[in-house]
Amino acid sequence: MEKEIFDQEQNHLSKTYGKLLEMKKDLESQISDLDAKALDDKNDIRDNIRFDYADIETTMETLAEIEVWNRYIDTYNVESSSLGKRLKTVNKLLESPYFAKISLQFDPSEEPESYYIGRAPISENGYDQMVVDWRSPIAEVYYNQESGHTSYTVEDRVIPVDLKLRRQFDINKDKLISYFDTQIAIEDPMLLQSLSQMRSDKMQAITATIQKEQNTVIRYPDVPVLLVNGIAGSGKTSVLLQRIAYLFYQKRKTLRPDQVCLMTLNPVFRDYIDNVLPDLGETNPLTITWNEFLDMVHVPFTENGSDHTLSESLLKIHECLPTLTPEADDFFDIRQKETIVMNKNEVLSVVKMFKQFPMGVRLIQTVADELEHRAKNALHNLDKETEEESEGSPKSDSAENNRIENDYGGALRSIRHCGFVNVMHIAKRILGTDHITAAEWLYTKMELTGLCDRNMKYMMIDEVQDYTKAQLMVFRKFFPNAKFMLLGDENQAIREGTISFSEIKELAEADDKKFVELPLMTSYRSSPEITEMFASLLPSEKKMLVSSVQRPGEKVAMFSLDSDDEYYTKLTSLISEYSEKSGLTAVIFRNQFSLDKAIAKLGDKAPVVIEENDSLPSSGAFLIELSLAKGLEFDNVIIADADNDSYPADELGKHCLYTAMSRATQHLSILAKGKLSDCI
């Protein structure tokens, strides 16, 4: 029976693969023909178009002819782009046409219908689906992992079905390696096979092995604030990327990549995840760090690491700004290069004209309109005097306005962008301090000018436990129309002063926004031995909920060495031993001081060091600071400085050690000079 099923599925795969090859050949032919036709038309344009601007009539004819040819070119570009996307999809499916099959019975009197599920959809004739997209409503039945009577939803309409078969495939191009009929995640052979593969320098999509609790997050209905609270290794980041792909699919007519922003802690992590969405046929969204965000919104200074501003100062800015009495130093002179167009006292006099408005957006925008009007008049009068002195002929109002825009655009742009407001001085006055942070500066600027991005529809923040309440208040104000998806693990908060999950809920409720928290409590990353080790650092009520689906592996190795010589000999030995194992080996240090000390001692035996803007190597061992290792995973991990100085037995020390341990999937060694941390 099994051989018969195998042969039937292999036969179906061969037919599907053959049709894909035919599609590939046809698309390549269409693209080739289109390119040839475009080249012919390009030559026609070059040979026949006449650029004649002798008079108004011939100029209009020339421009009309150019417009006609531009439309031809646009048509070619649109058609070429469409064919290129279809060819890219076909090429992707040729690597592995699909990964699953479901058989559904919609009515007891009818025969079950089979659907093959893959990373991308493809049809023979634009209607009959050869492969359905994993994000389609019907594919939800596969991910729900409920055999028998179940359902899926299409545009708020529930479709009841009887799931007769849920089959997984291991496929390489046109060859069926194996198949599995599975029901529940813990017995999922495809998942276990995937987890057993060695880790690389790039995160891979989990489309074929999405589990039920992960699928709940990926397909969760839109809510203003969605917090995913998952343990280390539960696939939070993978789920985030799959949800972004799901949103792009569900809202493909209305959602663009530039309307989704993904905040990441460092460039190393951004590089680690940058091929997941393209592999799913989607474009990466805007992916930035906190400092890159500050640069993007033109904050005039940045700070090292995260901005740990107390949220109380932002509340004080919000409450006190309207009561502030304007003074001259709250504003800048308006300049065109070195020339002062209006000095700050003149700006203040305009501000005082509108004293019925408190300090804030309405006042500043009203003042900006009046300043632009006055600046244009001043510039016009200045140039009129110059014109009279040189006895030039007066220009028309339209020509004069255009000339002022061209000659004095810098001053006018400064006014329009509220560059006349001295944000730094105003923030310092309110807070009564000589130093303000980037978050305080930006929040003050937003309160004064209304600066924000209303285009952004989704704001995704990974490792949210490492952001401050002030940073989230800034994001909330800068992206007023965005829905927020926040992912994190409070036990991986490795910096002081970061936001708690209860505070996230309070922020959402303060805005009367619906808040939903979803758990992810299964570790798909680490072996049971490693999972048990890092779970031992969790609060007892959470520790009991943690489980691992990995196969049993090796025990965690722990070493306490008395002298420097013994310590560095052992560290060198472990690095050498792990370097011979498959996959990546990360030697993690708590901070830069410990890392620099080890580099000096190891000398030429030290592996490569990963710094903030580096990419991970494709194999071998490397040294990395804990803050850069966050969110990443490695086959082998050596925690090189697991003593009480680096990991003290307090809450922060436990969080840091938990984070370091949980980077490992298969092998973990914990090493210290002297006594191991009391956390262990």
DSSP 32-65: HHHHHHHHHHHHHHHHH-----SSHHHHHHHHHH
Q: Please provide residue 285's backbone torsions phi and psi, each rounded to the nearest 5 degrees.
A: -75, 180
Residue 231's region, left for phi above 0, alpha for psi from -120 to 50, else beta, is: beta
Using the predicted structure, report yes or no on whether residue 465 has a pLDDT greater than 70.
yes
Q: Yes or no: say if 131 and 117 are a contact pair by the CB < 8 Å rule.
A: yes
Share of the chain above pLDDT 70, in %: 91
Lowest mean pLDDT among 34-48, 181-195, 231-245, 560-574: 181-195
Q: What is the C-alpha to C-alpha distance for residues 202 and 271, in angstroms, rounded to an integer?
A: 8
Residue 515 burial (10 A CB sphere; 0-12, 13-18, 19+): middle
Structure tokens belonging to residue 573? 């030995």
Q: Is 118 annotated as a binding residue?
A: no
Structure tokens belonging to residue 514? 């619906």
Banded pLDDT at 303 (limits 50, 70, 90)? low
Q: What is the C-alpha to C-alpha distance for residues 113 and 630, in angstroms, rounded to an integer?
A: 45
Residue 487's region, left for phi above 0, alpha for psi from -120 to 50, else beta, is: beta
pTM of the model: 0.83
Q: Is 236 annotated as a binding residue?
A: yes
Q: Is 540 annotated as a binding residue?
A: no
In angstroms, how far is the first alpha carbon of the chain from the final one? 52
The closest alpha carbon to 579, from 624, 638, 662, belongs to: 638
Q: Is 232 annotated as a binding residue?
A: yes
Banded pLDDT at 75 (limits 50, 70, 90)? confident
Banded pLDDT at 183 (limits 50, 70, 90)? low
Q: What is the C-alpha to C-alpha distance for residues 607 and 318, in angstroms, rounded to an integer?
A: 50
In the block, tokens 């031995």 appear at 529
Instruction: Give Cβ neighbours of residue 110 (< 8 Å, ≥ 6 apart).
Output: none
Banded pLDDT at 386 (limits 50, 70, 90)? low
Q: Yes or no: say if 134 and 282 are a contact pair by the CB < 8 Å rule.
A: no
Banded pLDDT at 260 (limits 50, 70, 90)? very high
pLDDT at 2: 86
Average pLDDT over residues 570-575: 96
Instruction: Give Cβ neighbours of residue 350 (< 8 Å, ≥ 6 apart).
Output: 367, 370, 371, 374
Our separate counts of H helices and E strands in the chain read: 24, 23
Q: Are strands 157-172 and 148-154 parallel, antiparallel or unpaired?
A: antiparallel
- pLDDT mean across residues, the chain: 88
The CATH class of 545-673 is alpha beta
Using the predicted structure, report yes or no on whether residue 452 has a pLDDT greater than 50.
yes
Using the predicted structure, report yes or no on whether residue 567 has a pLDDT greater than 50.
yes
Q: Is the CATH number of domain 220-301+452-520 3.40.50.720? A: no
Using the predicted structure, report yes or no on whether residue 271 has a pLDDT greater than 90.
no
Q: Is 404 annotated as a binding residue?
A: no
Banded pLDDT at 185 (limits 50, 70, 90)? very low
Using the predicted structure, report yes or no on whether residue 387 has a pLDDT greater than 70.
no
Identify the helix (H) or strand (E) that includes residue 286.
strand 286-288
Q: Yes or no: say if 122 and 16 are a contact pair by the CB < 8 Å rule.
A: no
